[in-house]
Amino acid sequence: MLELEQAVEKILAAIPAPKSEVIPLAEAFGRIVAEKILAATDLPPFDNSAVDGYAVRAQDVATASAQNPVILQLTGRIAAGEHFTSRLSAGQCIRIFTGSPVPAGADAIVMQEDTKVDAGRANQIQFLDSVKPWENIRFHGEDVKRGAVIIQSGEKLGAAHIGLLAATGNGQLTVNRRPTVALLATGSELREPAGTPSTCSASSLAPGQIFESNRAALTPLIAATGAIPKIFPIVPDAAEATRAALARAFAECDIVLTCGGVSVGEMDFVKSAFEELGGQLDFWKVAIKPGRPFVFGRLGEKFLFGLPGNPISAFVTFLLLARPALPRWQGATNVTLPASLGILAEPFSNPDQRRHFVRINVDNSGQVHSAGTQASHILSSLAVANGLIDVHPKTTLASGTIVRVLRWE
Ligand code: AMP
Ligand code: MG
C-alpha cells in the first residue's frame, strides 16, 4: 500500500514536459505561462497627472493660500490622450486631467479643488494652496520597467495578471497546451440521467439500475484545472466493450479517467482491457479513505487514472491523486488544491488504519463542521461539504484544533 504523497510523487514524475502554443490575451484566463513574460513597455509609459487640475512649477505657487491666492496665466489644455509640445514657463499653468501627460517644465499638479476661476477672467487661474515638487505626478516606469519580468514561467493566469499583461502591451503570449481528459464510467447498472426533476423519476430506472453521476461531478473539477473534459458513453461491464471504449478514449484524448470496475471483483475489466491495449499499470492501492481501489497507468505518453466507482471515492481520489497531474501536464508550478486554515467546531475521530479525508463545511469565519455521514456512497453530505480535512489514522482531533482545509472550488 502506498502513502498518498508517494503516489502523487510517482504520478507527477511520469508527466512529460509541457508543450507550448501562442494564444491571444483574450483567451489567456486560467492558462499556464510557458516562459517568463517581460513587460513590453514601461508602466506608466510617461509621467502623467494623478488628478484633474493644473500643471504648474511648484515654486510659482509656493506662497499660495486661500487668503493670498497666487494667479497664474492659463496657456493650454491637455486632455487624456493628447500631448503638449511646448514648454511651461514661469508664471504659467496648463489645464490637465487624470492620465494626461505632464508638460515639459511643470513639476507638480495642483488639484482643481485648490483653485478658483472668476467669471470673465477664465485665463487667470487662482491657486489657493501650495504644492510640493512632484506632487500628484505618476512617474514614468514607477510601476513596471520595460523588460522586467512580470510573470514567471509556470504561473496560472488570473484576471489581475491579464490586466498587467494588457497594460504592458502583451497582446499575445506563450502558454502551455492543455490536456484533453476522457471521462468514462463503467458499470452495467448505470443509466444516463435524463429529463427534468419532475419528469425524471426513479421509474425510468429498471430494477437494479442507478443514474450515472461521476462523469458529471468530475467534469467541472477537470475544467477548473484548465484541462478539457470530454464525456464518453457509459461502458457496460464486458471485456470487449471496455477494451473498445478505452481504445477510443486513448485515441482521442491525452488522459483517460475511468470510474468503477477497478477492484478485485470478477466484473472488473478496466485493468485487463488497459493491459491488452499495451498499457502499463504502475500501482493500485493508496492508503487513504475514501479511495481504494485506484489505478495509475501509462500508455506511451498518455495516462490512465482508474478511479473507484463509489461517487465519493471517485471525487476524493480525483482531487487527491489525479488532479495534480492536470496542472503539471500544463507545466504549472503549483499543483496543489486551494487550501485555507480552519478551526474545528467539533471533534473528529479516525479509528481506521488509513488517513481519512473527511467531508466538512467551513464557514466564512473559519469554523469547521462535519458535512454529515461519511460513507463513500453518500452524495448528500458531499453536497453540503465545501472542503476536506485530513484526519490521520488512530487519531482524534479535539474541538478548537486548527486544521488545513482542502478546497475544490
Ligand atoms: P465499482 O467501483 O464499479 O465496483 O462501483 C462501486 C459502487 O459505485 C457501486 O455501487 C456502483 O453502482 C457505484 N458506481 C460505480 N460507478 C458509478 C457512477 N459512474 N455513478 C454512480 N455510481 C457509480
Ligand atoms: Mg462497477
pLDDT per position as a tens digit, 238-266: 999 999 999 999 999 999 999 998 876 76
Which 8-state DSSP code applies to residue 286?
A: B
CB 210 less than 6 A from any atom of ligand 1: yes
Q: What are phi and psi of 276, to 5 degrees?
A: -65, -30
Q: Which atom of ligand 1 is nearest to the CA of 185?
A: 19
3-state secondary structure at position 248 = helix
pLDDT of 202 strictly over 70: no
- pLDDT tens, position by position, 88-98: 999 999 999 99
Q: What atom of ligand 1 comes closest to residue 310's alpha carbon?
A: 8
Beta bridge partners of 339: 406
> For residue 369, is it left (φ>0), alpha (ψ between -120 and 50) or beta?
beta
User: Which residues are CB-contacts of 58 (< 8 A; sequence separation ≥ 6)?
Assistant: 107, 108, 130, 131, 132, 133, 134, 135
Is the pLDDT score of 63 beyond 80?
yes
As a whole-number percent, the residues of the chain with pLDDT over 90 amount to 89
Indicate the pLDDT class of residue 104, thresholds 50, 70 and 90. very high
Q: Compute φ and ψ for 49, nearest 5 degrees.
A: -80, 140
Q: What is the pLDDT of residue 261?
A: 86
pTM of the entire structure?
0.90
Q: Output the pLDDT for position 217.
A: 98
261: closest CA among 191, 181, 187? 187
pLDDT at 239: 93
Q: What is the chain's mean pLDDT, rounded?
A: 94
pLDDT-derived band at 291 (thresholds 50, 70, 90) equals confident
The torsion angles phi and psi of 304, rounded to 5 degrees, stand at: -110, 130
pLDDT of residue 285: 77
Residue 214 CB less than 6 A away from ligand 1: yes
CA of 193 to the centre of ligand 1 (A): 14
Report pLDDT for 196: 61
Of 30-39, 289-298, 346-355, 371-380, minimum mean pLDDT range: 289-298
pLDDT at 406 over 70: yes
pLDDT-derived band at 84, boundaries 50, 70, 90: confident
**What sign results for the dihedral spanned by CA atoms 128, 132, 135, 139?**
positive
pLDDT digits (tens, 9 = 90+) for 303-343: 999 999 999 999 999 999 999 999 999 999 999 999 999 99
For the cut 80, the answer to whether the pLDDT of residue 153 exceeds it is: yes
Q: What percent of the chain has pLDDT over 70?
A: 96
Q: Is 259 in the pocket of ligand 1 (CB under 6 A)?
A: yes
Question: What 3-state class would DSSP assign to 246?
Answer: helix
Q: Is the CB of 279 under 6 A from ligand 1?
A: no
Residue from 234, 235, 259 whose mutation best tests the ligand 1 pocket (most atoms within 8 A of CB): 259
pLDDT of residue 89: 97
Residue 200 has pLDDT above 60, yes or no: no
| DSSP per position, 331-384 | T-S--SPPEEEEEESS-EEE-SSSEEEEEEEE-TT-EEEE-S---TT-HHHHHH
- 263 closest CA partner among 244, 237, 235, 233: 237
Rounded to 5 degrees, φ, ψ at 275 are -65, -35
Q: Identify the pLDDT of residue 199.
A: 55
Instruction: Name which of 1-15, 56-70, 93-107, 253-267 the model is least confident about.
Output: 253-267
Q: Is the pLDDT at 270 greater than 80, yes or no?
A: yes
